[in-house]
């Protein structure tokens, strides 16, 4: 069974979906560690409530981004983490970190990449008037919202819902698809053919 670490900066709703799926037995991984860059992140409380090791690391106490990430690497090595799952982690990982954990970092983005990259993806898609949007689970590479796609889920946009209602639909899809994608990557081998993730 693989050890995973979840990085989160906020409410931790995707973290909760992961915790719930582990409890149900539909996601067979060991959640060894939750790391946050925000002291008041509710994700840390979710982890502690579930009996999971939770760690706050203040980026402001380190001389550089790489120094901060080296400290994180020490904790990951100590807990023998195989796979890193970004769940609302609001820091861009450096090339140093991404190379060190190449093809072992997953992220979820609230659009059908490559459309609507960035931090306002739901609002941007809504404003553009799309008929469908969705979520994308992808491997993290050295560019933002760019790595090879593992899984996508389409969410229809009626045009009658508010942006807040669309956001709720997107989050529901995230909570379904992320644990499924993690399970696929954690339990099976995969290869990359160009940008295409082929899971065996």
Give the pLDDT confidence of 15-65 residue by residue, as tens digits. 999 999 999 999 999 999 999 999 999 999 999 999 999 999 999 999 999
Catalytic site residue from 109, 138, 171, 175: 109
State the pLDDT at residue 133: 98
Is 109 labeled as catalytic in the residue annotation? yes
- Is 77's pLDDT higher than 90? yes
- Residue 93 is given by DSSP the state P
Among the listed residues 24, 6, 3, 25, the one whose alpha carbon sits nearest the alpha carbon of residue 15? 6
Q: Do domains 1-101 and 107-200 have the same CATH topology?
A: yes
What is the overall mean pLDDT for the chain? 95
Among the listed residues 46, 13, 23, 22, the one whose alpha carbon sits nearest the alpha carbon of residue 173? 13
Give the pLDDT confidence of 55-75 residue by residue, as tens digits. 999 999 999 999 999 999 999
Classify domain 107-200 at the CATH topology level.
Rossmann fold (3.40.50)
According to CATH, the superfamily of the domain at 1-101 is: Formyl transferase, N-terminal domain (3.40.50.170)
**Residue-range domain boundaries for the chain:** 1-101, 107-200
């Amino acid at each position: 069974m693989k050890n995973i670490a979840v990085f989160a900066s906020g409410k931790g709703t995707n973290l909760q979906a992961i915790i719930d799926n582990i409890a149900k037995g539909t996601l067979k991984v060991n959640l060894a560690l939750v790391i946050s860059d925000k002291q008041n992140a509710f994700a840390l409380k979710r982890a502690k409530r579930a009996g999971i090791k939770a760690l706050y690391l203040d980026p402001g106490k380190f001389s550089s981004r790489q120094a901060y990430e080296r400290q994180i690497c020490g904790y990951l090595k100590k807990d023998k983490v195989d796979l890193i799952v970004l769940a609302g982690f609001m820091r861009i990982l450096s090339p140093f970190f991404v190379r060190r954990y190449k093809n072992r970092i997953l992220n979820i983005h609230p659009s059908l990449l490559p459309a609507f990259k960035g931090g306002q993806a739901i609002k941007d898609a809504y404003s553009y008037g799309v008929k469908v949007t969705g979520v994308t689970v992808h491997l993290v590479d050295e560019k933002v919202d760019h790595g090879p796609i593992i899984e996508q889920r389409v969410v229809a946009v009626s045009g009658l819902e508010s942006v807040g209602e669309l956001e709720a639909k997107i989050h529901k899809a995230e909570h379904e698809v992320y644990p499924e994608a993690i399970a696929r990557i954690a339990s099976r081998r995969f290869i990359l053919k160009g940008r295409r993730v082929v899971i065996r």
